[in-house]
Amino acid sequence: MNLPALLPTLLGLAWLLPLASFVLIVLWGKRMGHGGRCAGYLATLAIGTSAVLSFVALAAWLSQHPCVLSAHEVAEHAEHSSPPIAPVCGDWYTLGEFGSLRLTIGYYIDALSVAMFCMVTLVATCIHVYSFGYMHEELEEMTDPLAKLADGQPCRRPGRFYRFYQFLSLFCFSMLGLVIAGNLAMVFAFWELVGICSYLLIGFYIERKSASNAANKAFIVNRVGDFGMIIGLMAIWTGMGTFNFGDVPGAGPGVFSQVRPAANNYAPIVPDGMVALAAREEVAKIVAATPDKKLIAAQVPIWRAQGYGYWLLVVAGLGIFCGCVGKSAQFPLHVWLPDAMEGPTPVSALIHAATMVAAGVYLVGRFYPVFTPEVLMVIAYTGCITLFIAATIAITATDIKRVLAYSTVSQLGYMMLALGVGGWMAGLFHLFTHAFFKALLFLCSGSVIHATGTNEMPQMGGLWKKMPWTAGTMLVGCLAIAGAGVPTLAIGLSGYYSKDNIIAQLLSFGNQNPRHVWLFWVATIGASMTSFYMFRLWYMTFAGSPRNEHVYHHAHESPRAMVGPLVLLATLAICAGWTLLWPPFALQAFLEQARPAGMADGIGWASSLVMHPAEHLAHSTPAIHDTATFYAFTAALCGFLLATVIYGVRKINAEDIRRQFAPLHSFLVHKWWFDELYAMLFIRPVLWISQMAADFDRNVIDWLAEGAARLVAFVAQVDDFIDRIFVDGLVNLTARVTYAIGLRLRAVQTGNVRQYVMLLAIGLVALFVLTTFYWNFAFARM
């Protein structure tokens, strides 16, 4: 099978099908069936076909590169010596060429891309199907009780079913484009495009003030991260002269092989371009002395040894990570994600849990070879802070979707943390398992919201009797995210494997670098909190007796279109981490195929302070792996037991605890006062400056403009006066004189014929007389 020809075709098609669906719905969506129902079928068909194509691509890939099931053999292999499996990369279309610089639409396909394609299309298909049930109100004209008009009446508007699917299709296209992208420029374009889709879908209920605010917040906060990303892109573009990830035939070495050349045994090295850029003063000196290019090339290794250009590599890595911080809602830009829950729940599941927010983690994973040890430490600490803050906030939140949102932020923090301490596979593996169980959890919460009409958990309770399927699948989701499993048999739900990998890597890292061992402890406490707030959520929603009889009475199990995807996702949440014997497949082993070769260590000043242990050590050393499993399991169990005691059997009154720790509770309920802090630090100054600008505009600029206008009016009045008095006066005088003369002369016209004849005769005689008298006088001299 010819993979380099087959994969771009299959995945390219899978990528473009949602775009086709989007275009069709844009053009004819409104007329597709009753209320646009067929637009939904079209979008679902497109993404379903994409899913099929992605799985065909997966099968094709596996037939060529079968999974090696004893995972650490592969890891050991890859981290040390032999070259990794070459990715399929190339260009479809060249957008522009500027000398040796080229901008293209290209692809970079490795095991990670293929796995992401399968995950994104599968989850998206589930959510497309689910939305038929969840969004059915949008088929008719509907009343939105949460959107109040100015007179206090709820807003009544036509349904927007087709538009929902239109945005979903656009999102799928953008997300898949981001995954298949072969260069950073393309990544950035699709990065912004998913941001736009997120903005459009958060603001789907645009009539609600809170929704439009949340959409703006998400967009603006993401701009902050993207600003850093642009700086990173500039450093790469000037320093390396290319945006390509891989070595596209005929386009020179890509970013990865410039930073980690095979000649250097895949160890990181500052690329020549960056060295020359940083040492441009020395270069200028040499050029001024002798125009010999070879001399510069000979100097480059010396400059590199002196440390020239290293900061550019750090800037590139930090810049790219900055973008990931915004997109993946990491501290300090995590504030937008909980507010994004204003969007419809399927959107929260697809974009703000499973795929788009994971794009930041994906990009960190994809861009891993370029990160230096310093950048990795920044990533690890950002992830660690994020996971702790978000987990604490999730404990006190009462809005069911907000609990899940903070849990998403916290889990994304886990992934970043894992990537930052060298757990490349652990972080990305958690991305996949998290995508399945978090999509499941969100869809379950959507099912609950659909049934009860409220987001508030204190209004729920006892719903498992009414909605057994939802309750069951949600329990699976909770167990998966908490990492439930049987440690002695090493069997469990998907989260069990991925979280264990992370904790084990952290422990391994802590052993190597004792001063960073608290990263491990924070992650373990985080695991305990994860388990606590997830079961708190489940107990408050489904267990015990109903808190609100009215809500309970109205609740009902969701339609089959919603339950079906729940069951499928629950299945995946259970077994995404399992190793299949036939066909031989394990997600971990599959991801290992895409692991970037070599380690980040051995460069920069931080390499003397931190040391990233090889990931296979975490699996193969029983002292690490078993200890980590023990800690993770105990932590999760503690959280679960605490939740059971407080919310399950209600032995301890939660209200008492709240009163006991009132300051802490209020601190957490206000989300660590982040929104207020940002309001004080950024929003108010900006508003103040804009107020000043507005005042300046109104008082100075407007004054000038009005002064000019008044001057013109004055000049015009003077002109008017001159025109009226002098010019008009002259004309009128002529007319008046003529009129007066005419008035006098009219008396001559008597109408009497005889008088006329008389005058005629007299005149004739007078003429004769005059002529006779003056003839000689006038013409005498002739």
Partner 1 sequence: MDLLTQPVGLAHYLAVGTILFVCGVVCMAVKRNAVGILMGIELVLNGANINFVAFGAPFLRSDKQFAIGLDGQLIAIFVIVLAAAEAAVALAIALAYYNNHATIDVDRADELKG
Contact between 747 and partner 1 per CB under 8 A: yes
Contact flags string 219-258 toward partner 1, x per CB under 8 A: ----------------------------------------
Residue 105: phi, psi to the nearest 5? -100, 110
Whether 195 and 219 have beta carbons less than 8 Å apart is answered as yes
Closest distance between partner 1 and the C-beta of residue 782, in Å? 20
154 prior amide bond cis, ω within 30: no
- Binding-residue total with partner 1 (CB under 8 A): 14
Residue 287: phi, psi to the nearest 5? -60, -40
Q: Tell me the C-alpha to C-alpha distance, in Å, between residue 257 and each of 102, 149, 406.
A: 17, 58, 37
Contacts of 31 (CB under 8 A, 6+ apart): none
Q: Please report, as residue ranges, which positions from 668 to 727 form the binding site for partner 1 (by CB under 8 A).
A: none
Closest distance between partner 1 and the C-beta of residue 742, in Å? 9
Whether 88 and 603 have beta carbons less than 8 Å apart is answered as no
Give 99 or 751: the residue with its C-beta nearer to partner 1.
751
Q: Computed over its alpha carbons, how large is the radius of gyration of the chain?
A: 39
Give 730 or 757: the residue with its C-beta nearer to partner 1.
757
Pick one of 294, 515, 651, 754: the residue that binds partner 1 (CB under 8 A): 754
338 prior amide bond cis, ω within 30: no
Return the number of other C-beta atoms located less than 10 Å from residue 547's C-beta. Answer: 15
Instruction: Give the residue ranges of DSSP H helices in 328-453.
Output: 336-339, 345-349, 356-366, 373-396, 400-420, 424-452
DSSP 506-517: HHHHHHH-GGGT
Closest distance between partner 1 and the C-beta of residue 744, in Å? 10
Pick one of 750, 766, 767, 774: the residue that binds partner 1 (CB under 8 A): 750
Give 687 or 765: the residue with its C-beta nearer to partner 1.
765
Contacts of 697 (CB under 8 A, 6+ apart): none
Give 756 or 773: the residue with its C-beta nearer to partner 1.
756
* Residue span binding partner 1 (CB under 8 A) among the ranges 104-112, 442-450, 564-572, 757-765: 757-765
Closest distance between partner 1 and the C-beta of residue 766, in Å? 14
Contact between 741 and partner 1 per CB under 8 A: no
612/602 Cα distance (integer angstroms): 10
* Residue span binding partner 1 (CB under 8 A) among the ranges 196-204, 280-288, 304-312, 740-748: 740-748
- Length of the chain in residues, anyone? 782
Give 152 or 751: the residue with its C-beta nearer to partner 1.
751
Give 289 or 745: the residue with its C-beta nearer to partner 1.
745
Closest distance between partner 1 and the C-beta of residue 713, in Å? 49
Give 699 or 750: the residue with its C-beta nearer to partner 1.
750
Contact between 761 and partner 1 per CB under 8 A: yes
Give 82 or 749: the residue with its C-beta nearer to partner 1.
749
118/40 Cα distance (integer angstroms): 21
686/228 Cα distance (integer angstroms): 20
Extract the tokens encoding 686: 């900006």
Q: Tell me the C-alpha to C-alpha distance, in Å, between residue 443 and each of 131, 134, 277, 346.
A: 10, 9, 51, 6
* Residue span binding partner 1 (CB under 8 A) among the ranges 66-74, 350-358, 375-383, 754-762: 754-762
Extract the tokens encoding 251: 């386009």
Question: What is the enclosing helix (H) or strand (E) of 302?
Answer: helix 293-306
Closest distance between partner 1 and the C-beta of residue 739, in Å? 14
Contact between 749 and partner 1 per CB under 8 A: yes
Pick one of 705, 740, 757, 769: the residue that binds partner 1 (CB under 8 A): 757
Closest distance between partner 1 and the C-beta of residue 708, in Å? 57
Pairing of strands 579-580, 585-586: antiparallel
* Residue span binding partner 1 (CB under 8 A) among the ranges 163-171, 357-365, 585-593, 742-750: 742-750
Contact between 83 and partner 1 per CB under 8 A: no
Closest distance between partner 1 and the C-beta of residue 743, in Å? 9
Closest distance between partner 1 and the C-beta of residue 733, in Å? 23
Q: Tell me the C-alpha to C-alpha distance, in Å, between residue 567 and each of 128, 133, 470, 559, 714.
A: 15, 15, 9, 13, 80
Closest distance between partner 1 and the C-beta of residue 776, in Å? 22
Contact between 771 and partner 1 per CB under 8 A: no
Q: What three-state secondary structure class fits 109?
A: strand
332 prior amide bond cis, ω within 30: yes
Give the helix, strand, coil percentages of the chain, each rounded to 5. Answer: 75, 5, 20
Contact between 746 and partner 1 per CB under 8 A: yes
Give 750 or 771: the residue with its C-beta nearer to partner 1.
750
DSSP 594-647: TPPSS-S-SSSGGGGT-----HHHHHH-HHHHHHHHHHHHHHHHHHHHHHIIII
Pairing of strands 154-157, 142-148: antiparallel
Closest distance between partner 1 and the C-beta of residue 751, in Å? 3
116/114 Cα distance (integer angstroms): 5
Strands (E) located in 625-721: none
Give 5 or 765: the residue with its C-beta nearer to partner 1.
765
Give 34 or 746: the residue with its C-beta nearer to partner 1.
746
Closest distance between partner 1 and the C-beta of residue 758, in Å? 5
Whether 146 and 453 have beta carbons less than 8 Å apart is answered as no
Pick one of 94, 264, 653, 752: the residue that binds partner 1 (CB under 8 A): 752
DSSP letter at 157 equals E
Token pair 């909980």: residue: 338
Contact between 772 and partner 1 per CB under 8 A: no
Pick one of 745, 776, 781, 782: the residue that binds partner 1 (CB under 8 A): 745
* Residue span binding partner 1 (CB under 8 A) among the ranges 232-240, 303-311, 495-503, 753-761: 753-761
Give 651 or 746: the residue with its C-beta nearer to partner 1.
746
Closest distance between partner 1 and the C-beta of residue 757, in Å? 4
Please list the residues that pair with 229 across neighbouring strands.
none
Give 748 or 782: the residue with its C-beta nearer to partner 1.
748
Extract the tokens encoding 654: 């939660």
Closest distance between partner 1 and the C-beta of residue 722, in Å? 38
Give 754 or 781: the residue with its C-beta nearer to partner 1.
754
Give 34 or 754: the residue with its C-beta nearer to partner 1.
754
Q: Which residues bind partner 1 (CB under 8 A)?
A: 745-754, 757-758, 760-761
